[in-house]
Amino acid sequence: MKVLVLNSGSSSVKYTFFSMDGEKKLARGIIECIGLPEAYFKHQSAGEEEVKEQCKVSNHLEAIDIIIKNLIDPRHKIINDLSEIDAVGHRIVHGGEKFSKSVMINEEVLQDIRNCFVLAPLHNPHNYTGIEACEKLLAGVPQIAVFDTAFHHTIPDYSYFYALPYSLYQKYNIRRYGFHGTSHHYVAQRAAQLLNKPPDQVNLITCHLGNGCSITAIRNGISVDTSMGFTPLEGLVMGTRCGDIDPAIIIHLLNLEKISADDLNTLLQKKSGLLGISGLTSDMRTILKSAASGSDRARLALDVFCYRVKKYISSYFGVLNGADAIVFTAGIGENSPTIRERSCHGLENLGIRMDLQANNAGGLEERIISAQDSPVKIMVIPTNEELMIARQTLRVLTNN
Ligand code: ADP
């Protein structure tokens, strides 16, 4: 059984091709800058060097066509024929209130995904074009939608409700949905294995710290609260997104700066976060370097970032009445000992004690970085959203 996993963004399509017998990654790559002269294609077959080439690609249909042709290119020895692609798993950012799990795509599901455009205008329309392209290029191949929001469907109403007039929930479905669900779910399953506990008996705080950042409280294996909300803007400080702010600031800015709603959206989504505070960059590596070489604004961005993570860890610790483990994942969570240390620093009274040597040791593998005697384990678990999407795709296919 071979599964193609696609993540169609606004100007890029990422792909991973799996053989599910033994969950082997056969190929991966990305087409970036779709519609621009500098568009390029990166591809890596298992065990081979990555290749990068310029390409002319004006839309998602052309991008996915290039990806598929590449998979059957005899030079790569991946597959001989399109009929070897058994299914396609699509990452869909928003499944609204409707989807609590992955589903086989049919006309009704397509309509439901379109209905969610209004909830995720920056993501769902692009995810959708990926599905449309596959319907043309791989007619008859089952397509499965895997939603970023689905894992958070278990969040109770008192945690997903905003204290706004109830009618806004009824009229516009305004509530917390949560995102990065596939990643939180994956690392939670891995953490349960590392803890040697059944997945439905673990209490965890999972910290996905990448360009986008979110943190989830997991009780008995299910999500009970998460920091992203109605959109992926809420919660932690991110590369360019502000995370939590007082909503009155928005009214204030609308009045003071006479700024349009679109410009205000850009300010909150693309000009805030690490970039906004530092005035330098959204990239955590550069923030860390700049702070170390004396930039006070980079230092401040770092302080605000880590303090926010720590505040959420502490509050979810209370929500869960204790946790088996704190899990760090994604670009920053997996790679930055400094951020992990600072996010857990001063939480010893909660039973969260880091082994600084283990934290600094580096490495790409799953590992425990808490002190031997720490009641709460601290773990680094590389996320694998693509594999999770492939697994879900296989599950839906098998159940059908
Ligand atoms: P995305 O959310 O786009 O998938 P990633 O999970 O790849 O992003 O995370 C990107 C972030 O990870 C960037 O801020 C990058 O600087 C940060 N990062 C990657 N490696 C390191 C590292 N060694 N130390 C600190 N931050 C890192």
Q: What are the tens digits of pLDDT across the range 119-139?
A: 888 889 999 999 999 999 999
Ligand 1, atom 12, lies closest to the CA of: 331
pTM for the full predicted model: 0.95
- Residue 212 CA: which ligand 1 atom is closest? 2
What pLDDT does residue 76 have?
84
Domain edge (last residue) among 105, 125, 147: 147
What pLDDT does residue 177 have?
97
CATH number at residue 371: 3.30.420.40
Residue 394 structure tokens = 């296989």
Mean pLDDT (the chain) is 96
Percent of the chain with pLDDT over 90: 94
pLDDT in tens, 26-81: 999 999 999 999 999 999 999 999 999 999 999 999 999 999 999 999 888 899 99
What pLDDT does residue 190 have?
98
Query: Distance from the CA of 129 to the center of ligand 1, in angstroms?
Result: 27
DSSP-derived pairing of the beta strands 367-368 and 2-8: unpaired
Pair (141, 203) in one structural domain? no
- Is the separation of the CB atoms in 207 and 235 below 8 Å? no
What pLDDT does residue 75 have?
86
Pair (141, 209) in one structural domain? no
Q: What are the φ/ψ torsions at residue 135 (nearest 5 degrees)?
A: -60, -35
What pLDDT does residue 51 have?
93
pLDDT in tens, 137-185: 999 999 999 999 999 999 999 999 999 999 999 999 999 999 999 999 9
Query: Distance from the CA of 339 to the center of ligand 1, in angstroms?
Result: 11
In this structure, is residue 182 part of a structural domain?
A: no
| 188-196 long-range Cβ contacts below 8 angstroms, 24+ apart | 188/218, 188/221, 188/327, 190/366, 190/381, 191/324, 191/325, 191/327, 191/379, 191/381, 192/221, 194/366, 194/368, 194/379, 194/381, 195/324, 195/325, 195/377
Ligand 1, atom 7, lies closest to the CA of: 331
- Is the separation of the CB atoms in 174 and 164 below 8 Å? yes
Pair (18, 79) in one structural domain? yes
In this structure, is residue 176 part of a structural domain?
A: no
Pair (286, 374) in one structural domain? yes
**Which residues are tagged catalytic?**
148
In this structure, is residue 400 part of a structural domain?
A: no
| Helix residue spans in the chain (DSSP H) | 60-71, 107-115, 124-137, 157-160, 166-172, 181-195, 248-256, 261-270, 273-278, 284-292, 296-320, 330-335, 337-344, 356-360, 385-399
Query: Distance from the CA of 398 to the center of ligand 1, in angstroms?
Result: 35
Residue 329 structure tokens = 């994942």
**Best mutation site among 148, 269, 284, 336 for ligand 1, i.e. most ligand atoms within 8 A of its Cβ?**
284
In this structure, is residue 192 part of a structural domain?
A: no
| pLDDT at 271 exceeding the cut of 90 | yes
pLDDT in tens, 287-327: 999 999 999 999 999 999 999 999 999 999 999 999 999 99
What pLDDT does residue 239 have?
96
Report d(CA 61, CA 142) in Å as an integer. 17
Report d(CA 187, CA 194) in Å as an integer. 10
Ligand 1: residues whose CB is within 6 Å? 210-212, 239, 283-285, 288, 330-332, 335-336
Structural domain containing residue 244: 197-385
What pLDDT does residue 272 have?
97
Report d(CA 148, CA 56) in Å as an integer. 30
In this structure, is residue 31 part of a structural domain?
A: yes
**Best mutation site among 10, 236, 289, 332 for ligand 1, i.e. most ligand atoms within 8 A of its Cβ?**
332
Query: Distance from the CA of 47 to the center of ligand 1, in angstroms?
Result: 24
Q: Can you spell out the DSSP letters for 209-240?
A: ESSSEEEEEEETTEEEEES--SSTTSSS--SS
Query: Distance from the CA of 330 to the center of ligand 1, in angstroms?
Result: 7
- Is the separation of the CB atoms in 193 and 327 below 8 Å? no
Q: What are the φ/ψ torsions at residue 60 (nearest 5 degrees)?
A: -65, -35
**Best mutation site among 28, 211, 286 for ligand 1, i.e. most ligand atoms within 8 A of its Cβ?**
211
